[in-house]
Amino acid sequence: MNRHMLILLAVTWALFAASVTGYLVRTEESDPPARVFLENTGGRVVFAHAGHVADYGLECVECHHDDTGAEQPVPCGVCHPKAFDDSFRGGHFAAFSDRSHCLRCHASDPDVETPAERPDPEWIPVRTDAFHEQCLGCHESMGGPVGEDACDQCHAGM
């Protein structure tokens, strides 16, 4: 009886260890989604992610150019806040410890910036502008649908 219990316990422990290891081991890379749904005020956009990657032979970094390599994407508010305040600046220093990142947006080291030199928050592009700029740039250069008459090519219900 004890021998059978030891065997059962050993098998149970081995199966448990194998299942935990399966969850802990990081997989290389998952396949990109086939479609991405972007909810917005202009009508839901169905973005054919897999089609763009396969049809145009694009690498991830060609569109996801600010990919930090983190498993979870950085929230939009980290880079595009409603106002430039002290908590935002503190977040900058935590998220971008390498000061070379500063020069993407700042003409000089932001430590020397005074509150009067901060940009007007109204100038900050909204998410809509960012998506349109990124999408339209490729559409114009690669012959995709562009312009006001082409809105319904991406936006459902227009």
- At CA 24, angle to CA 64 and CA 7, rounded to 5? 160
Q: What is the pLDDT of residues 9-34, one digit of tens each?
A: 999 999 988 887 777 766 666 666 77
What average pLDDT does this structure show over 101-113? 57
Q: What does the alpha-carbon distance between residue 49 and residue 134 come to, in Å, rounded to a whole number?
A: 14
Q: What is the pLDDT of residues 74-97, one digit of tens each?
A: 555 555 444 445 666 666 666 666
Q: What does the alpha-carbon distance between residue 110 and residue 116 come to, in Å, rounded to a whole number?
A: 13
- At CA 76, angle to CA 71 and CA 77, rounded to 5? 120
What average pLDDT does this structure show over 90-113? 61
Q: What is the model's pLDDT at position 13? A: 93
In this structure, the number of other CB atoms found within 10 A of the CB of residue 92 comes to 19
Query: Cα 50 to the chain's mean position, in Å?
Result: 16
Could you tell me the two tokens for 137? 């740039």
Q: Domains in the chain, ordered, with CATH?
A: 36-153 (3.90.10)
Q: What does the alpha-carbon distance between residue 65 and residue 122 come to, in Å, rounded to a whole number?
A: 25
Phi, psi of 62 (to 5 degrees): -70, -30
Q: Write the Ramachandran bin of 69: left for phi over 0, alpha for psi from -120 to 50, otherwise beta.
A: left
